[in-house]
Every structure is written in structure tokens, then in C-alpha cells.
């Protein structure tokens, strides 16, 4: 219990410092290259495979082309979950807590709910030198489009990608969804 409280305080302190370092804490739920759907259980503090109709859930599409998780200490009232994080970089491990810099937001509507996905670049990526959406589009054409196509198709039904916003929007969104 004490270790859990200390860990939480450390994460909160680091989140407060993120405004100055330009990196935010992310918990990885799904590693790049997998089709299985996993979610963090906040009560148990562990990752659990997601189930649908009593069967382990997996996507019927190409494997995740990025690491996927959520931004710690955030909450999106529209889908009752923390803000989603897409992490570009080398394959990470499930349950890793990492820090990465935001460069864009893919705005989606899923089942009638706003479900934004913040795109981050991890220091393990050769793209880490990129600081904004425009540079990413100019230096690595197609990356954002691949991410958007994935979210439009991975559930087997079309989810609505309604736009892509820049790094300033991403930072403001993260701060607006921060919980104390």
C-alpha cells in the first residue's frame, strides 16, 4: 500500500513537471505488432485481456502498427477512460510506463463518443527529432495517414476519424484532461 502511494505521488510529480520537459507519462497496454486487445484494470492494477461475448477480444485487421496505451492521470469524460496514447517507436513491453512527447491528435468518434488519440514519439524512435505534426508530415509522409487508416478500420466497422490536430492542441488537450 505504501509503495503504491509513493508510486502515485512520483507519477503526479512527474506529470506536473511534464509541462516543462515536454514529455508525458504513458502506460502501455498493447504492444506494436499484436492483434490482441488488452486493457488496464485500475482496481487490480494489472493488465487484463479484453473480452467480448465471453471470448478474448482481438482485432480483425492488421496488427497494431504502434504501441498503444493511455496517458496517466488523465480522464476523458466522453468515453470514461484516460486519454488514449499512440506511441511511435520501437516495440515496448505491455505494462511499461514510459515518457514520450506529443506531436498530434487524431480526433475520432467511436460509437457516438469523442475518443481522441494523442500521437507521441518515444525516444527509441528515429523520428524523435521531430517536434510537430508538420515536420512529421514533411519528413515522414504517410505516418499520420497510416495511423488514421488503422483507426478507421481496426474494429471491422468504420470509426469516424474527423481530423488531425497539431502538437499545441495535443498539449492543451492533455492538460485539460488531467486529474489531480
Percent of the chain residues topping a pLDDT of 70 = 87
Give the integer Cα–Cα distance in Å for 166 and 136.
10
Across the range 95-119, mean pLDDT stands at: 94
For 135-153, how does the pLDDT look when each residue is reduced to its tens digit (9 = 90+)?
999 999 999 999 999 999 9
pLDDT category, 132, cuts 50, 70, 90?
very high
For 8-45, how does the pLDDT look when each residue is reduced to its tens digit (9 = 90+)?
555 555 555 444 468 999 999 999 999 999 999 888 88
pLDDT of residue 21: 66
The set of cell numbers assigned to 35 is 492483434
Give the integer Cα–Cα distance in Å for 153 and 164.
17
Give the integer Cα–Cα distance in Å for 173 and 79.
15
Give the integer Cα–Cα distance in Å for 180 and 178.
7
pLDDT category, 161, cuts 50, 70, 90?
very high
pLDDT of residue 17: 46
Give the integer Cα–Cα distance in Å for 129 and 138.
13
Higher pLDDT, 156 or 5: 156
Task: Report DSSP state, residue 126.
Answer: G
Which residues partner with 163 through β-bridges?
107
pLDDT of residue 2: 54
Mean pLDDT of the chain: 88
Asked if residues 99 and 20 have their Cβ atoms less than 8 Å apart, the reply is no
Does domain 2-176 fall into CATH 3.40.50.720? no
Percent of the chain residues topping a pLDDT of 90 = 67
Enclosing H/E stretch for 37: none
pLDDT of residue 112: 84
Distance between the two ends of the chain, CA-based, in angstroms? Answer: 19
Q: Is the pLDDT of residue 5 over 90?
A: no
Please report, for the chain, the start and end positions of each structural domain, with discontinuous segments joined by +.
2-176
pLDDT of residue 20: 47
How long a stretch of residues is the chain? 180
Amino acid at each position: 500500500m505504501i509503495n503504491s502511494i509513493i508510486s502515485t505521488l512520483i507519477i503526479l510529480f512527474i506529470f506536473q513537471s511534464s509541462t516543462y520537459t515536454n514529455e508525458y507519462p504513458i502506460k502501455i497496454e498493447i504492444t506494436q505488432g499484436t492483434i490482441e486487445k488488452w486493457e488496464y484494470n485500475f482496481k487490480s492494477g494489472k493488465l487484463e485481456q479484453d473480452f467480448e461475448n465471453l471470448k478474448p477480444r482481438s482485432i480483425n485487421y492488421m496488427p497494431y502498427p504502434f504501441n498503444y496505451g493511455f496517458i496517466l492521470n488523465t480522464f476523458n469524460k466522453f468515453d470514461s477512460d484516460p486519454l488514449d496514447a499512440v506511441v511511435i517507436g520501437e516495440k515496448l513491453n505491455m505494462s511499461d510506463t514510459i515518457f514520450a512527447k506529443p506531436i498530434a491528435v487524431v480526433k475520432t468518434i467511436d460509437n457516438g463518443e469523442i475518443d481522441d488519440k494523442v500521437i507521441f514519439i518515444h525516444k527509441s524512435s528515429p523520428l524523435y527529432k521531430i517536434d510537430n505534426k508538420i515536420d512529421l508530415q514533411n519528413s515522414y509522409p504517410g505516418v499520420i495517414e497510416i495511423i488514421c487508416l488503422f483507426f478507421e478500420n481496426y474494429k471491422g466497422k468504420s470509426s469516424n476519424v474527423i481530423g488531425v490536430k497539431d502538437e499545441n492542441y495535443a498539449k492543451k488537450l492533455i492538460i485539460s484532461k488531467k486529474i489531480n
